[in-house]
Amino acid sequence: MCTKTLGVVVLLLATGLLGSADDKENREDSYIKVEVLGKVTTGLVAIGSETTGVTITTKDGSLELQLKSDLAKEAEKLNGKRALVKGVLTMKQGVEIRGMRLIVKVESLKPAEEK
């Protein structure tokens, strides 16, 4: 996802046009599917434990990854490596961290194919 696209998604979510991840009604009838290719980092910590502990970073920025336990083990194996993540993009208002946190609820995670 390029910076411009990511910025548009953030703007739409922030203004409420696409709804909030915490809005149950919107969660059920609308969503944003994403595919992200980047470097996975695990074991992260933040003020007030305000992190999922795992991110994927592209040239355009980083997104947090929310993983189910079976995928968490795979993420550990991919720490520091490139991976392809598919899932649903959500936003969560930061408490200690200012602004919105972009979080991908991961549906699939696999190593990136070598060029």
**Domain spanning 3-111, CATH architecture:** Beta Barrel (2.40)
pTM of this prediction? 0.68
Q: Domain limits of the chain?
A: 3-111
> Nearest CA to 42 among 21, 20, 10, 66?
66
Q: What is the pLDDT of residue 65?
A: 93
Residue 13 DSSP SS3: helix
pLDDT tens track, the chain, 115 positions? 455 545 545 544 554 545 455 555 555 688 999 999 999 988 766 665 666 788 899 999 999 999 988 898 888 899 999 999 999 998 887 776 677 788 999 999 999 987 6
